[in-house]
Chains A and B, each alone.
Chain A
């Protein structure tokens, strides 16, 4: 009697592969719904806060007043939802095994709606990605699936949310692979595609099958026009650099302010944005309405230039002051305006037939995105999905390539990685991942000696270490590494009579380091650049020392391996 019941029960049991596939669809639907709701909530909030036709006083007051509230939320309740959300999602995927606390998607939704709805010049795609990824992770944790599968759900949720937020399912998949996972050949391609499709089906069944932008069909009118698009690529690259560098510099400035000001920093940004909105209300919020106008050639040259520059500055202020919102949409906005401006000039002055300025606005969007986000494949697919037109692809690729190259030449890390690095979080990149045989830094390192406080005098430090075997000392306090000091530099300082000066003054500007997962070739390369010892630091907290690697450690490790084999 028992056998049939057991058999049914066994048949009803799901293998985890099947469960994952079903989850992928559910996550796609839920993430898509969250992105749609997020977009609607921003719109309604903006309408409620500003009304139909806001006065100058209202334009000025709303961003600052709302930022006072969001400042408290972001500093005290949801500290991990500031900014875009894409860097945090990448960190969750690469460093935290895909675990995102439930408060993150909730907090991001709430603060994102308030920040963007109150007029901050920020985008909704980054927050949508973090919300989607967060929901996916929470579902995975709730179902208690394996940690690997929970981790895999993060890019799946991110792709689904982006697909719904931007109505570009293919670009969303590429973005998840290119940016979140960092590997175009990732095994998660199938899952992200399924989730994106589910998400877009949901989004279109609610909002209708409307493209985000209505773009006329544009063509390359003359081969010489490629030169104009190349010029646009250069402009895009320069603007990308200006945007990225100013954003990172101002963010660093805000970070240096005393910790107690963190609550008020978003409000400072809000006040500045309020003042900007009085003169240029077009930069409010996401601003796709004006991108659409630029794409249809509906803006004059001086308006395009003004909006390009003001949007750039406003986004930098909104983002760096610690509000919740992304840079995905602003990069498209700035690109559309810059492209429209270049296109208008080319249209007027070029001695050959040219496309309408709208075509340049379209390519400009892609060029800025490629330069700022440094996801060139996403950029190409995104523009293709918006236009459904192959004709624009060649100019787009020319401009993208130039913008990407210029940006990469003068800004080492892509913006999302650079933002994480400012927070002492170092993501692995493709070249630094442990591959194949060999060994990793984590395997060869030895425990580090305690940090030496930088305010100790040179004399007192020497008295402590003079008889020890260490050739390099780690200087830092509160578990934060500040730098490395070779024994030879310490001895030289003593001979120069600097005994009573703090040891921190002997430190250089920076130091070479590696992470535990770095493979042998990276460790050897960096060890050669160091002063004889390579600190191994955590990826989550790059100032936290996990160990030290010296040439002796490597020799010892290899000798052990050889003896084990024998």
Chain B
């Protein structure tokens, strides 16, 4: 690096000046200049601080306006106000998060993602930023990315006042996975969640419902039973236990729980009807008289025969279309079975054959004419319960 001060050929006027007193004029001038510079520095710093405060105050006003507009549902205006706030006070992550949320509310996902990515570059471990990114990715249907952001949020930094937040985020992730039909990954997340659950009825109930949706009836039933221990009169606990028992094919327990539930959902009523139909129509239940078994089987065969006739007669079968010939053959088989078993004693093999036949007809009906009635579903479950659901 060369500098003018290194150049020996440059004129050096001060060297030729006569000495002026003990201390040279330039030194006095420099000291004076330095004193002025120091004073100017502190003055400027004080002014800068005042201006900074003014700026922060302006940003807070814009943020407050944005919140007001967000509350009235005007996401676009809210985003504009939050944008002003975050432009003035660029260090405030809350403003930028609010901006991203408003942009997302205004369905400007691309802009919201950019704001969040900007924040994530600064604080990659910020849980709230990752959570919002996860929600945006989820909304776009990018499951892998969403799960990655959800996990970043779960293992990110949450403030001391948000101890419950990771559990809520994991539940949100599980619900998202269940909505996407990914029950396996949802169950894995549930297994991580369960040890950290508080032992209160609400948390146990939520876990039970999620387990039920994820297809783990046994664990779900355990949690619903815990709910009923903590709150024996919980209608949701009874409903959940009834549904879980139903999934486990414990129809007696299911019936007991569901009948004791005072307020029932549509699903609860539907399941109770199936359970009732199973209890009333299963010919293979123990401790039934022979005549009762015959009557139940005959009723089941009569139902599938009628249903087959109706299905075969419908000119436009709804999708999925099944094999008409197969259903017709089964209908003939039902008729032959009825004729064969009308007279005389029915042994256990004949009962099993009859139950299996109803199952096969139900399968064919399902394939050709779609889901059937409560009784149809009960007949399928009866066959399955006795391991007679072979084709």
Contact = CB atoms under 8 A, between A and B. Distances in A.
B48 interface: yes
Chief secondary structure at chain A's binding surface = helix
A33 B40 contact: yes
A188 B24 contact: no
A23 interface: yes
Contact of A191 (B3, B14, B41): B3
Interface residues of B, number: 48
B317 interface: no
Nearest to B122: A214
A359 interface: no
B4 A20 contact: yes
B284 to A, nearest CB: 64
A142 B54 CA distance: 37
A290 B128 CA distance: 26
A66 interface: no
Interface stretch (B15-23, B191-199, B203-211): B15-23
A187 interface: yes
B37 interface: yes
Interface stretch (A259-267, A293-301, A378-386, A420-428): A293-301
Given A5-B22, A37-B44, A189-B2, A14 B114 contact: no
Chain A, interface size category, equals 35 or more
Interface stretch (B25-33, B178-186, B235-243, B356-364): B25-33
A21 B23 CA distance: 19
A187 B34 contact: no
A189 B1 contact: yes
B352 interface: no
Contact of B114 (A15, A30, A356): A356
B114 A26 contact: no
A56 interface: no
Nearest to A357: B114
A470 to B, nearest CB: 42
Contact of A189 (B3, B11, B21, B118): B3
B7 interface: yes
B317 to A, nearest CB: 47
A210 B10 CA distance: 39
B93 to A, nearest CB: 12
A508 to B, nearest CB: 44
Contacts of A145: 13-14
Considering residues A5, A17, A33, A47, which has the most beta carbons from chain B within 10 angstroms of its beta carbon? A17
A145 B15 CA distance: 11
A107 B339 CA distance: 115
B33 A21 contact: no
Contacts of B15: 15-16
B14 A40 contact: no
B61 interface: yes
B22 A139 contact: no
B266 interface: no
B54 A47 contact: yes
Contacts of B83: 293, 298
A44 B12 CA distance: 44
Given A187-B2, A298-B114, A30 B12 contact: no
B10 A296 contact: no
B306 to A, nearest CB: 61
A289 interface: yes
B3 A146 contact: no
A148 B114 contact: no
Contacts of A149: 4, 10, 13
6 smallest CB-CB distances across A and B, nearest first, come from: A190-B3, A146-B13, A17-B5, A16-B12, A16-B14, A13-B24
12 contacts: A17-B6, A26-B33, A52-B61, A142-B29, A143-B29, A145-B13, A149-B10, A189-B1, A190-B4, A216-B121, A289-B87, A296-B118
Interface of B: 1-7, 10-15, 19, 21-24, 26-27, 29-30, 33-34, 36-37, 40-41, 44-45, 47-48, 51, 54-55, 58, 61-62, 83, 87-88, 90, 111, 114-115, 117-118, 121
Interface of A: 5, 8-10, 12-23, 26, 29-30, 33, 36-37, 40, 43-44, 47, 52, 139, 142-146, 148-149, 152, 187-191, 193-194, 202, 205-207, 210, 214, 216-217, 289, 292-293, 296-298, 356, 358
